[in-house]
Structure 1
Amino acid sequence: MQKKLSKIMLVALAIFVIGATIPFNASAASLETTGAVKNEYTYEEAVFLSGQPVIFKGTSRDIKITQKESKGKLTETYNMKLTGSNGETLTRNIAYESDVVDYAVLGQKTSNGEVNKYTEKVTIGGVTYTLVDYQFSQGTVTDNRAASDYYSGNIISRKTYSYETGRGRDAVQNTITVETDSRHAGYENFWGATETQITESVYAYSDGRTSHVKNRLSTSKSRILNYEENLGSLGSFEGGYAVVSEKDVISEYTYDLASGQKGTLDLDTEYMPTIERLIIPKFRDLNNHYAKESIEKLYSLGIYSDSSNFFSPNTPMKRIDFTAAIGKAVDLRVFEEEKKSRKTPAKSVFLDLKRSVKDYGYIESALNKGIIKGVSADYFMPDAAITRAQAATIFVRALGLENRAPDPGYLTSFVDDSQIPNYARDGVYIASELGLIIGDTTGRFNPNKQLSRADASIMLERFLKYLEDDLKQNYRDDILFFN
């Protein structure tokens, strides 16, 4: 399990299907609790009805899974025919329906639903297990923050199967009731997504025996930035960056069965990685500069859009440039769509910021999403240098974590704690705890110090690393190892 958890991983939240319709993210969670793993072509799950683990498999020809959202209703359907290695068969048809409620003022969504249809028949060793009753309920809440959506939910279900043992006059009708309690948590942002699900099931047989099965399932996606050297030594550039997108699913079953069998069973699968080459940075004033790699990464990703060959790394970072960079970093596509689709109001959101300014759309979006505030209600001071305290506050607001600070009266770990402005205290504390900011060698944070374009770039790269790596660590490894 440890080896599997250390891999670089990606999306299995997106459901593999032929002709699937993927809705808006009311809940990225899968409604099934079987512990199945899947990629573009294959599907696997373990079944324990017979008192021993049986692995069923299928391909995209045998599976159809769809999601559809319409008028506040989220419908998910499964139709599958699976086989085991010894001729076992499984057929299943499911239709779930959830009511999705958007609390736009709070930036949250809830999804609560029930099953409309569930039929299943499993044949193992000549015995057929037929589902005769299925009860199901699920609820998920999603908190939509600027940089990342976070969600958490629960599923409870009860399945009752009927099966026959013996033949002729010795035939006996039996039942198995499977009670399932499942919890899931996850996040989704532009740089990755992870969902982890812990499911515990108790199998109660009509003859009094019981089986216990626990499944730990995690699906994840990542976008990794790699430097690729130019194979031609006489080319106009030495190399450039490429984004490699990867996906995987891991599943572990721990079982104690009525037959006396105990053990663990691991399943995992990966999606085919994809690669995307990025534009090549050609700044002439970064040779041997300590922030060169960070600056070039941000430029390649489109977070910086400087047209000059000179980046001026040691000059102050303007408030407007830092805000635009954050907007692009958390999700360039969303912000761009907002800029193009919204009707232009007659008045700018700040008196000192013209709507014709290149990055005005990012400032307006960041203000509306609660990422930034002006220096007053009417003024933004776009060309003023951003300070370290302001940057820390913006990072934490973008993550939606500003309310996670301790009760008022706490102290940060910095020697110059008393110099931290009151508005920035929560942001500095949380950003420090997350490793987004650090102090100098004397233990001082220097909250009012202006950020250079170089130092701001290092901070922004660290922010992206948090979205790419730290959240995945928390929502995969930490949950799996402690549950």
Structure 2
Amino acid sequence: EESETEEEVEEKLLDLEKRKEFEDVDSSISWALDAIEILAGNEIIQGTEIGFEPHRTITRAEFIKLIILSNKIEIEETSENIFKDVEKEKWFTQYIETAYKNEIIVGDEKGNFRPNDSISRYEIAVIISRLENMENEEIQLNFSDKDNIPNWAKSGVGFLEEEKIMEGYEDGSFKGEKALTRAEAAVVVFRYLNYLINK
């Protein structure tokens, strides 16, 4: 059986010709324009009732949906409630349950997922490192605040830095506790998909 060519893999993950525009996504955020429009054109990311809301903080539930759709992970729903605060009838439940089943996320010590909370740069680094099975890899960190990076996030941050999926700030720091906006999250996922296409 012939293995798939890189072109076929690329086509499956992302069609770079498909774009969707939003009134609130313009040249003022030129650094995120391609990521948002191409992900939206591929139906990986959705707008809201008022546009795309690029500057609004992305929620944990929204980011998980983005990860499941971008990686084309098959949806798995369960009969039991996995997290106390993820009710069955919510729009995000199937994505969160799928992420849990695929060992991409775990809850907090109280059995909650906190779907409507913001998601930090550290948490995103860990989620992507789990997708890559890189969670326990030893990777050199070069950020100026590397001594502040918690152990549970180090390999994820290192992987994202190494592959230029998520970069630091002008002062050389990573600032992992900061929440991501919807525009920033789109850029991270777009870069990650390009990494998958090219690896």
Partner residue in 2 for 1:225: 15
State the shift of 1:460 in Å. 0.7
More helix by share: 2
CA distance in 2, matches of 1:308, 1:282: 14
Matched, 1:315 2:56: yes
Matched, 1:439 2:168: yes
**Matched letter for residue 308 of structure 1:** E
CA distance in 1, matches of 2:20, 2:170: 32
Tell me: CA distance 1:445–1:310, structure 2 relative to 1, closer, same or farther (3 Å).
same
Tell me: CA distance 1:349–1:441, structure 2 relative to 1, closer, same or farther (3 Å).
same
State the shift of 1:381 in Å. 0.9
**3-state SS of 2:123 partner:** helix
CA distance in 1, matches of 2:165, 2:180: 14
Matched, 1:401 2:134: yes
CA distance in 2, matches of 1:220, 1:284: 32
Partner residue in 2 for 1:13: 3
State the shift of 1:305 in Å. 2.9
State the shift of 1:292 in Å. 2.1
**3-state SS of 1:331 partner:** coil
CA distance in 2, matches of 1:299, 1:366: 21
State the shift of 1:226 in Å. 3.3
**Does the CA-based 8 Å contact 1:314-1:454 persist in structure 2?**
yes
Partner residue in 2 for 1:371: 104
State the shift of 1:297 in Å. 1.1
State the shift of 1:422 in Å. 2.0
**Does the CA-based 8 Å contact 1:285-1:311 persist in structure 2?**
yes
**Does the CA-based 8 Å contact 1:405-1:430 persist in structure 2?**
no
Match runs of 1:172-191 below 5 Å = none
Matched, 1:356 2:146: no
Structure 1 runs, 4 residues or longer, greater than 4 Å off? none
Partner residue in 2 for 1:300: 41
Q: 1:423 aligns with which of 118, 128, 152?
A: 152
Partner residue in 1 for 2:143: 414
CA distance in 1, matches of 2:56, 2:137: 33
CA distance in 1, matches of 2:158, 2:125: 9
TM-score, length of structure 2 as denominator length: 0.88
Larger Rg: 1
CA distance in 1, matches of 2:126, 2:143: 16
CA distance in 1, matches of 2:34, 2:116: 25
**Matched letter for residue 431 of structure 1:** L
**Does the CA-based 8 Å contact 1:286-1:292 persist in structure 2?**
yes
Relative contact order, CA 8 A, sep 6+: which one is greater? 2
State the shift of 1:12 in Å. 4.1
**Does the CA-based 8 Å contact 1:13-1:220 persist in structure 2?**
no
Q: Deviations over 1:379-421 (max 9, x none)?
A: 1111111111111111111122223325xxxx61110012212
CA distance in 1, matches of 2:9, 2:111: 41
CA distance in 1, matches of 2:72, 2:142: 32
- Root-mean-square deviation (CA, aligned residues, Å) is 2.3
TM-score, length of structure 1 as denominator length: 0.38
**Does the CA-based 8 Å contact 1:402-1:430 persist in structure 2?**
no
